Structure 1
Amino acid sequence: MSLPQVIILNGNSSSGKTSLAHALQEKLPEQYLNFSIDSVLYALPPSDLHKMQRGEVIERSGYHWPSLVRGYHYALPGLLQAGLKLIIDNAWCDIEEKRELLTELAGYHQALIGVHCSLEVALAREQQRGDRAAGLAAWEHPRVHERMIYDFEVNSDDSTPAQSADAIAAWLLQQPSLSGAMETLDALNLG
């Protein structure tokens, strides 16, 4: 059996990616670490993290959002080179961030999965959670799936994280051909 080295979950904020990642970890016969962008963000000074979650400006010297994302992307190959398997999740909205991610992972066996969620459901979840800047889901919604070619897609409006994890695990265990990441990177480089 040859499961992918890295499973990429891409969807807007509050679409249920992290809950799905945790459920998927339990369903797969091999161990995967869930290493999301939050793994980097939760390493910020607590006061800066709270400002970010409230959508406030972080004025501390050295803070630079693109550097945090780049550091996250650069950490992924190191974890994979150590022989670990990863489920990563984020809302990749910027074309350059998408290109950078897929370039860093180009030599690895990847499954690119779109996690869809209606804007109405995402907004309700965002308000309920209280740990995301208000309006983040609305800003990400039209951008997150732009120019992405997925190997598999789920909709968290219609299923629980466990149901989506079941669907993804069953699909992965069928040993599908995985070309979404490569096709997306080609499309991003052409555009």
Structure 2
Amino acid sequence: MHLQMDSFLEMLPKRLDNHVDGLLFQNIGSDESPEIAVSSGPALQKLMSGMRGAVAAMASHDNNIVVDDVLWDQKDFDEYRDLLTEFDLKFVLLDAPLDVIEHRERSRGDRTLGLARWQFDRVRNYQNYDLIVDTLDSDVESCAKKIVAAFGL
């Protein structure tokens, strides 16, 4: 099963888009180097905690799950570890150089330019990953095969 952060973010009421109580975006970059900082208000924090609880509930019913989440700080890792202590939890970072990630961000067309730059160091700060997969020269299928092989799935 695939559970993704974006699906949960879509559940947030529209009035909380770019709002201090929800998900707030602040431009801290320049035209040459766009960077968008993200702040999580109380409503978004409850939503994300609920998402992690939903992941735990799905796992408790014998579902194998791949979670697509952006973990910005240690408490995000800790919450998953606390909720999923009885399961074989693995953290995987899909990685590439910043310029490649920014190119992908622009190419997708559905992302706010500058989010990748702001998230880049934050998702790497804690190094709590069981596996880091370099996506620079690998397609999605190759990356999936690396993950399967690394964990004997």
TM-score (normalised: structure 1): 0.62
Partner residue of 2:148 out of 162, 169, 179: 169
Deviation at 1:59, TM superposition (A): 7.2
Partner residue of 2:134 out of 132, 142, 155: 155
1:42 aligns with 2:10: yes
d(CA) in 2 for partners of 1:59, 1:150: 30
d(CA) in 1 for partners of 2:77, 2:21: 27
Please list, as runs of the form range in 1=range in 2, the aligned pairs for 1:92-103 lying within 5 A after superposition. 92-103=71-82
d(CA) in 1 for partners of 2:120, 2:55: 25
Runs of 4+ in 1 over 6 A off after TM superposition: 59-63
Q: Equivalent residue of 2:90, what SS?
A: strand
Deviation at 1:114, TM superposition (A): 1.8
Q: Quote the residue 1:134 is aligned against.
A: 113
Q: Equivalent residue of 1:110, what SS?
A: coil
Whichever residue aligns with residue 43 of structure 1, its letter is: M
Q: Equivalent residue of 1:154, what SS?
A: strand
The superposition leaves residues 131-171 of structure 1 with CA deviations (integer Å, 9 ceiling, x where unpaired) of 22221110110110212232222111121111111121222
Report sequence identity in percent.
26
d(CA) in 2 for partners of 1:99, 1:34: 21
d(CA) in 1 for partners of 2:143, 2:80: 24
Count of residues in correspondence between the two structures: 135
d(CA) in 1 for partners of 2:109, 2:98: 16
Deviation at 1:63, TM superposition (A): 7.1
The superposition leaves residues 96-124 of structure 1 with CA deviations (integer Å, 9 ceiling, x where unpaired) of 22221221112211222121121101111
Q: Equivalent residue of 1:64, what SS?
A: helix
- For structure 2, the 5+ residue unaligned runs are 23-40
Whichever residue aligns with residue 88 of structure 1, its letter is: V
- For structure 1, the 5+ residue unaligned runs are 1-32, 176-191
TM-score (normalised: structure 2): 0.76
